[in-house]
Structures are given as C-alpha cells and as structure tokens.
Structure 1
Amino acid sequence: MTNTVPETGKGVAYGLAAYTMWGSFPLYFALFEGIPAWEVLIHRVIWSCLFLAVVISLLRRWLPVTAALKQPKNLGFVLGCSVFIAANWGIYIYAVETRHVLQASLGYFLTPLVNVAMGLLILGERISRLQVVAVVMAGVAILYQFFLLGELPWITLALAFSFGTYGLLRKKVELDGLSGLFVETLLLLPLGLLTLVWLSSQNLSHFTESAYSTLLLLSSGAVTAIPLLAFAGAARRLKLSTVGFLMYINPTIQFLIALYIFHEPLSTAKLLSFVMIWVALALYSWSAWVGRARTV
C-alpha cells in the first residue's frame, strides 16, 4: 500500500500535465498554416527522436534502450504503439489545420470510453455501476452528436480508436516511459528521413522555406515529445480506465479553444450533447472518488 499510493499520485500528476498540454495544442499547430499535416508529422518524428536521444544521454538511460533493440522479436507492441500514435497525430494536425477542432475534441471525448471498454473486455478491469451509468450516458451523448452530424465523423472515430489502442498497447510495453517513447519514435525515423529526402529532392519541403518555418518545425520535436513522455508515465502507473477518465481534460480545453478562439460554429443541440458528457464525467469522478475513499 505504501508503494502503490505514491505511484498512483505520480501517475495522476503525469496525466494532468499531459492532457493539459495536449488540450492547448490547437494553438500551437495553428501556427503551421500552409505546411501539410503529413510534413509536420515527419518533422515531429525526426526532431522528437533527436530530442529524446539527448534526454536519454543526459540521464544516462541507454541500457534499457539497447537491451530492447537487441531483441527485435519483442518489439511488436512497440511498433504497434509507433503506428497508432503516428496515425493519431497526423489526423489531429490535419483537423487543426482544417479547423475541425470541435470534431477533434469529440474524438478525445470518445477516447476514454474506448479506454474503459478495452480495460473491461481485454484487461479484465472493473468499474462500479455508477461509472457504468456515466459511460453509457456519455455514449448516448456522442451517438446523439453522430446523428446531428449527418455523416460519418471519420476524424472523431479515427482519433478515438487510434489513441485508445495506443494506450492499450503502451500498457503491454515493459520499457519505462522515456525508453519506450524513444524506441517508438526510433522505429519511425527511417521512414521520416526517407520522406524528408524525397521532399527536398522534389523542392516540396517547407523546412528551409524561411527561418520561421525552420524553427517551427524544429520545435515540433520537443513540444510534442514532452506530453507523450508524461502520458507514458501515467499509463504505466494507472489503470486504463483511470487514464481514460483524465483524458476529458484534453477535449474540454480543445472545445473552449475551438469555440472562443477559432470561432467554430456550435449549435444548441450540439452544446446539449457536450453538457450530457460533462454530467457523465461528474458522475464518473464522484464514483471514483467515493470508491477510493472506501479503500483508504
């Protein structure tokens, strides 16, 4: 008990930090206007890899990395994490650039439900009856929004399932947060470098277009790696359902940015569905708090 409680506290702190930073990312990725989302993604891979290599060197943490790379047969889950997080970020950057931040926020509202479902069905985690009611209520609200959209909200669905699957696979990876994230990024590095070389050969690269674009693309490494590090630390210390609960911080911030800064349209009916989700979140939070108080 003495070891579990501090680790849980650290996990919550890491989760809060990660989701607050992610929630603010529409403001950051809006700066990349004119640069295709997939090009931003490959620079994120390249410079994140370099940034993480520097961090690992400073902390002298190369031993678990080299040990993992010496056993390529055991990198299946890590490769899965690489693919799903790359897909998630590519779609997310596209959503911001095309001003579909409300749809992106809906995707991240849906992700905790995916996390809870995977926790229950795959990992055998349990939640209380009141938490089940909360999850069902949020699910009804999301289905209500799907109906109002009048079309398949592919951005929402892709973001939810790609990040939910990433969270599940990350719990299967035995590497610590920093080492795991570096290996994930390292596996994508060859593809990123090849794509950058091709872009340069075709004079399509925005990297050297101006000092502004160069610095902006360089910054994508550290800016996007830091919250991923925090998330990895949370995922290893918390139940998947708890990670999913904290996830609501991210889309709430995105929702406010989309509404008050990007001025995306929001009808009264859509607002009602968001309110239903927030009520469900309140129920989930209260139930989790009561359950924790009974175990202390």
Structure 2
Amino acid sequence: MAQSPSPTTPQGGGHSPATLGFVAALSSFMIWGLFAPVYFKQLGDIGAVEIVAHRVVWTVVLVGAWLLPTRGLSGILRGVGSWRRLGVFLVTTALIATNWTVFIWAIGNGRLVESSLGYYINPIINVLLGMAFLNERLSRRQGIAVLIAAAGVLSLVLSYGSVPWVAFALALSFGFYALVRKKAAIDPMIGLMVETALLVPPALGYLLWLSANGTGNFGMHGIGTDLLMVMAGPVTAVPLVLFMIGAARLTLSTLGVLQYVGPTGQLLLGVLVYGEAFTASHAMAFACIWAALALYSADALFARRDRIRAATAAE
C-alpha cells in the first residue's frame, strides 16, 4: 500500500481530513474485529465454504454496481492489464479465499481467540516477508520485537503440543496476500472486484450443486438467514472502503496502531462473550505479542520523528 499523504488542514471548515480518516479507519477495524465475528457467528449452522461462496457472489454484485458506473468495464479490464497480471490475480484470489474460509470456519468452531492471535502475528509476518522478498532490513529494535513475538508463539505451541494452525493460516495467507498486492501495485477496489469475479464461477457452481442435492441453505431457513447471506457482500466491501478512506488521510504509523483494534475485538469477543478458553499459556503468548508490537510501533514512531527532524534541518 502506498504511503498515505500527511494530513492537511481543511479548506472551508468542516472536519479535517485527519479526523475523517481516523473515524473511517477506526470504524473499519471495529467492523472487522467486533461486528464481522458476531455477524458470521449467526450463520454458524452453515458451512464455511457455503458462506464464502455467498460472500463472493454478493460482493461482486455490490462492488460491480459501484465500479461499473464510475470506472466502466474498460477501466476494470485495464486494471487486469495482461495475462501475466491475471496470473497475479489468480494467486491473490487463492490467498484471500483461503483467508476468508479459515476465518469463518474459526468463528463457527469456537476458535476466535486463535483467530485473533493470527491477526496479532500478521504484522510480524509482514516484516519477515519484507526482509525475504523486498530486501527490507530490520533495525535493532525491530529485530528484538520479532524475537519476542517468536518466543510468545513458541511458548503457545509448546503448551498446546500442536501448532495453532488457524493463527498461522490467517497470518500467512493475509501476509502473502499483502506482499503480492504490494509488488503488483494493485488498485484496492479493482483488485477486490477482479478477485471476487474470478471466484464467481466456482462459487456459483458450488451453490448450484448444493441446491441440486437439496443441501443448500439459501431459501431454506427463512428470510432472516437469506438476508444474512446476502449482506455478506456489504460486510466485506464496506470496511474495505472505510479502510481506504483512512489510509489516504492518515500516516502509516497511526494506521499501524489502529490495526490492533481488530484482533483485540476478536480476543475480547472470544473470551468474554463466547466463553472461549484463555489460559496462562495464552496470556504468556499474547503478552509477548503485545510487547513486540509496542516495541515495533515505538521504533516506527522514532524513525518517523528522526526523518522529520532531518528534513527540517536540511531546509
């Protein structure tokens, strides 16, 4: 994601761009962290793959209704660009489909705490992927932060006696998704449109197969359940739009701090609302993750401050 411009002073009164960006970004993370888990929990009796199939279909309908009048079909096709770029979209499509399916499965199977762990780990995964594929280098504080986070995850693995695969699946799928999108410089909304459009044939095929076998849930449990499945489109698209509004108006350091609202909401829901276990091993792992994220965020803030001082001194 390109670095957002610095907040500017509003022209002609009204809310400043920074205020609008903060509200939009905070709203997006609250939807992802608090609303979306509760929403998908209401569809707990429906399989994760069927929910994702509906999510794909209704997201295409919603995003298409927005993009076609504003960008036109030619604009969307230009976003694809070439056969090679289409191959990139196939990779990002597979990654986001995996992320959505695992997330919804985790909600329906009482694994929201582990899901939150995955999204806490995700920034650290991004750092490691940046080192491996973008030739990025860690500062001393960043290196310490990664080691602290790794120690926390290792302690949880040892206490479980098994790998927390939900957490790693979510962190790795979204981490590689962000990496591929960054390297390919994919427009966020056109990217979402193309990725979901590529998923429409298998999604529709699966839904039609379920219907033919009499095992589909759409139209079988009343208008309320049907509306919940249809609303999976807005639940997918709206927070993304809000996030893009925030990203365009906030500094990356502010956005980086706000991103922890999402997994924190998931963690609180899992423990306080849905009664999932939060053991001493969880506490140790999360304490390490939070300490690592605090250290990493502080390093980013210090680095930004130093850049501003250097730029001011050069003027």
CA contact (8 A) 2:103 2:115 kept: yes
Pair 44,164 (structure 1): closer, same or farther in 2 beyond 3 Å: same
Summarize the alignment of residues 192-203 of structure 1 with structure 2, pairs less than 5 Å apart.
Answer: 192-203=203-214
In the other structure, the counterpart of 1:22 is: 32
1:273 counterpart residue number:
285
* Larger-gyration structure (1/2): 2
- Of 258, 264, 285, 2:276 maps to 264
The equivalent of 2:226 in structure 1 is 214
For 1:34, the equivalent position in structure 2 comes to 45
Which residue pairs with 2:159 in the alignment? Answer: 148
Structure 1 unaligned runs (5+)? none
Whether 1:88 and 2:99 are equivalent positions in the alignment is: yes
Shift of 1:257: 0.9
Greater CA drift, 14-23 or 198-207:
14-23
Q: Does 1:123 align with 2:134?
A: yes
Tell me the amino acid that sits aligned with residue 6 of structure 2: V
Could you tell me which of 56, 64, 71 is aligned with 1:53?
64
Deviations 1:187-244 (A, max 9, x none): 1111111111111111111110111111000000111122344557788999999977
User: Distance between the aligned counterparts of 2:151 and 2:4, measured in 1?
Assistant: 38
Deviations 1:32-68 (A, max 9, x none): 0211111000000000010100111343454431224
Partner of 1:5: 6
Aligned to 1:173: 184
Q: Number of residues paired by the alignment?
A: 295
Distance 1:3 1:254, change over 3 A: closer
Matched, 1:138 2:149: yes
| Structure 1 pair 235–123 and aligned structure 2 pair: CA distance change class (3 A) | farther
- Between 1:124-133 and 1:100-109, the stretch displaced more is 124-133
Aligned to 1:164: 175
Over aligned residue pairs, what C-alpha RMSD do you find?
A: 3.0
Deviation, structure 1 residue 163: 0.9
Question: Is 1:290–2:291 an aligned residue pair?
Answer: no
**Which region of structure 1 is more displaced relative to structure 2, 100-109 or 243-252?**
243-252
Contact kept, 8 Å, 1:103 with 1:153, in 2: the verdict is yes
**Consecutive unaligned residues in structure 2, runs of 5 or more:** 9-17, 309-315
> Structure 1 pair 213/104, CA: closer, same or farther in 2 (3 Å)?
same
- Whole-angstrom CA distance in 2 between matches of 1:68 and 1:282: 37
| 1:228-265 CA distance string (max 9 Å, x none) | 44557788999999977654332221111111111111
1:184–1:83 Cα change, 3 Å: same
Cα distance in 2, alignment partners of residues 138 and 294 from structure 1: 25
Counterpart of 2:156, as a letter, is Q
Deviation at 1:15, TM superposition (A): 5.6
CA distance 1:289–1:239, shift in 2 (3 Å): closer
In 2, Cα distance between the equivalents of 1:51 and 1:17?
A: 20
What TM-score do you get using the length of structure 1 for normalisation? 0.88
> What is the correspondence of 1:59-70 to structure 2 with a 5 Å cutoff?
59-69=70-80
Contact 1:78/1:173, CA 8 A, preserved across alignment: no
For the 8 Å contact 1:81–1:166, the answer to whether it is kept is: yes
Note if 1:78 corresponds to 2:107: no
